[in-house]
Amino acid sequence: MPSDLTIGAPRGPLAALLLGDTAGARPATLLLLAVGCSAAFGAAIGSYTGGMQVLYAAVKMPLYFLLTLGISFGALHVVAASRLPAGETLRASAEAVALTAAALGGLAPVVAFVSLSCRRADQETYRFLVLVLTASVAVGGLAGVWRLHARLASPLLTAAWVALYQFTGAQMAWLLKPWVNCTFTSDRFIPLQDNLNGNFYESIAGVLRNLAS
């Protein structure tokens, strides 16, 4: 009798992504996977505050990935144009982003448990959760970079992609904050005017200094 375990049975898009069997996948399918998985992670990190912050973070996390890729793709294609056509560059980039988001989706239950277990309205806890968020994205990013390198087969192109995407993504994360939200008030969805002051790197350095003091 046929079953899901039958050898040669068609895989779902997520299973195909995790197994690296994405030769026939369209970039749109990969990006839809990224949206779903990253939304789950966003909801998990927003659960510390609860309420509307869960929804806000679930919406903003996919926006973070899609906007970062949209802004940086032109530069990524210029770097890779000598080796890959635009369609292949987009597919490789979308697969890297989707695998990063899938790794974050896998971490979502753990992050939600940590967030819900932490003390409320506590600055030290807030700083700790910011580091949890940053470390989780870094872990997911490593998975995406590993897959991208397998597709590009070029350390130089991979390094250029990482530099461009990481720089754009760090600033995008800063512009879209708050993610964790420690105020427990009805903060705006994106306080853009406030977020134009400072940058991501100054913020992380400040969090590390405060934790060390």
Range with the lowest mean pLDDT among 31-40, 43-52, 79-88, 194-203? Answer: 194-203
Q: What is the pLDDT of residues 125-135, one digit of tens each?
A: 888 888 888 89
Predicted pLDDT of residue 10: 57
Q: What is the mean pLDDT of residues 172-190?
A: 70
Predicted pLDDT of residue 143: 92
Residue 7 domain-assigned (yes or no): no
Q: State the Cα–Cα distance between residues 86 and 15, nearest whole angstrom.
A: 26
Q: Residue 180: is its pLDDT beyond 50? A: yes
Q: Looking at the 3D structure of the chain, how many domains does it have?
A: 1
Q: What is the mean pLDDT of residues 196-208?
A: 71
Most confident of 32-36, 81-85, 135-139, 151-155: 32-36
Q: Is 41 exposed, middle or buried (0-12, 13-18, 19+ CB in 10 A)?
A: buried
DSSP code string of 129-152: HHHHHHHHHHHHHHHHHHHHHHHH
Residue 190 domain-assigned (yes or no): yes
Residue 180 domain-assigned (yes or no): yes
Determine if the pTM surpasses 0.75.
yes
> What's the pLDDT band for 107 if we cut at 50, 70, 90?
very high
Q: Is 51 left (phi over 0), alpha (psi -120 to 50) or beta?
A: left
Residue 14 domain-assigned (yes or no): no
- Domain enclosing residue 173, as ranges: 25-212
Other C-beta atoms closer than 10 Å to the C-beta of 163 total: 13
Chain centroid, CA 32 distance in Å: 13
Residue 76 domain-assigned (yes or no): yes
Q: Residue 8: is its pLDDT beyond 60? A: no
Residue 15 domain-assigned (yes or no): no
Q: Is 14 exposed, middle or buried (0-12, 13-18, 19+ CB in 10 A)?
A: middle
Residue 1 domain-assigned (yes or no): no
Predicted pLDDT of residue 193: 64
Predicted pLDDT of residue 24: 75
Q: State the Cα–Cα distance between residues 196 and 177, nearest whole angstrom.
A: 11
Residue 19 domain-assigned (yes or no): no
Q: Residue 22: is its pLDDT beyond 90? A: no
Tokens of 146: 């590993």
Average pLDDT of the residues of the chain: 82
Range with the lowest mean pLDDT among 104-108, 125-129, 179-183? Answer: 179-183
- Using DSSP's 3-state secondary structure scheme, residue 11 falls into coil
Q: State the Cα–Cα distance between residues 129 and 76, nearest whole angstrom.
A: 31
